[in-house]
Structure 1
Amino acid sequence: MPTETAVLETSLGPSLRRWRVLNRIKQETLARDLGVSQSRISRWESGDAQPNGADRLKITQLLRARPETAADRALLDLVTQASMPVHLVCDLTHRLLAASPARTVNWRIPTSELMDRPLWRFASESIRTVEHQLSEHGWFEPLGPDVVYETERAEFAELTIPQSRIRISRLPLSDGRFARLVRDEPAA
């Protein structure tokens, strides 16, 4: 199962910093745990450097959302039972964690075939553009805002993304990792 997507280039460093700060872990401690220098952690977090394949895999494994507690499973249940189009993905890898029936109405394959797989390959041009601008919106700040944007219709063999207004929210899971709630905004 792929654990990396194109989006990691823009979000890996800020995601690592946010996770480390929220979990009160010093760069030196994380560097020791990963077997790298503190200055390398600093360069990754600032975006001045990107981790190599082995280090990228370690960081991705560290940060990927794992909804394992009862509270996290309740969030998955709420998404799965929602009456509006909504889905939940790992904020870093875009792996699908849950989807509502109203979201999957435009899917031509069973949800099980997409579960725990990155959805990034289905991103429309608008979604890709917004993704690469998340830092500018304050997404990686401790109390980052929701981001609302318009997306165009995009057709894929497996699913259709309808033209819509989308709201994304970054939600911390019980273990300090992040999921992204993706909701269609009601028409004004």
Structure 2
Amino acid sequence: MGRSLLRFRRLNGIKQAHVAELLCVSQGSISRWEGGTHAPDEHHREKIATLIAAHANNNGDMAMKRLISTSTLAVHLVCDATHILLAASPARAAVFAGGVDRYLGTSLWRYASPEIAEAEARLADDGWFERPFKALTFRTGDNLSHDVPVRSSTVRCETIPLADGRVGRVTTTLAQHA
């Protein structure tokens, strides 16, 4: 969460002192969270998530949402920091139990496979949160979920700056595996 906060601040030109004021903490707390020496408590994680969450609801992001929503590939767009679903292609939406509208605006993190969780844990070490336009291709296994199934496949995750200064993550299934 700290690395996501750091990237959000840098992309939006916001000082630590201002974020500290918004979150009712000291500037030192922000520095420690961003540096990874301390982690925010649950209350502050929720406040940070609200602050940095991408929404892609403005005109600047409509073209991207339309491209994803009409793609023939299995692809979806989430907030890079919170994993909140912003858009999904018909191929991706087809596997969502109850339809894609049930999941729009909610975090997909609880459906992550162990391999997705492992890849996410390595992102900070790989410089993922230092700047936009990062990409990662990896192989994942099944998540055993009936609601939002993840099947054994090769996926590619790519960051993309959104119009509001936040960062989205486009995830595309490149190949299904048996």
Q: Provide the TM-score with structure 1 as the length reference.
A: 0.86
Distance 2:90 2:132 in 1: 30
Structure 1 residue 177 and structure 2 residue 166: aligned? Answer: yes
Distance 2:110 2:22 in 1: 32
Structure 1 residue 58 and structure 2 residue 57: aligned? Answer: no
Moved over 4 A (4+): none
Equivalent residue runs for 1:16-95 within 5 Å: 16-95=5-84
The corresponding residue for 1:126 is 115
Distance 1:45 1:166 in 2: 28
Aligned length: 176
**2:103 aligned residue (107, 110, 114):** 114
Which segment drifts farther, 50-59 or 159-168? 50-59
SS in 2 for 1:174: coil
Distance 1:63 1:122 in 2: 21
Shift of 1:143: 4.2
Contact 1:80 1:98 (8 Å CA) reproduced = yes
CA RMSD after TM alignment: 1.7
Structure 2, unmatched stretches of 5+, are none
Identical columns (%) = 38
Shift of 1:186: 5.0
Contact 1:137 1:147 (8 Å CA) reproduced = no
Shift of 1:51: 1.9
Contact 2:132 2:160 (8 Å CA) reproduced = no
Structure 1, unmatched stretches of 5+, are 1-11
* Matched letter for residue 25 of structure 1: I
**2:4 aligned residue (15, 26, 30):** 15
* Matched letter for residue 32 of structure 1: E
Contact 1:138 1:144 (8 Å CA) reproduced = no
SS in 2 for 1:118: coil
Q: CA 1:96–1:143 in structure 2 vs 1: closer, same or farther (change >3 Å)?
A: closer
Contact 2:71 2:89 (8 Å CA) reproduced = yes
Structure 1 residue 97 and structure 2 residue 86: aligned? Answer: yes
SS in 2 for 1:161: coil
The corresponding residue for 1:152 is 141
Question: Which digits, 9 at most, give the CA deviation of each residue in 1:31-89, with x for residues without a partner?
Answer: 23332211111011111122233322221111001112212122111111001110011
SS in 1 for 2:125: helix
Distance 2:96 2:50 in 1: 28
Contact 2:79 2:85 (8 Å CA) reproduced = yes
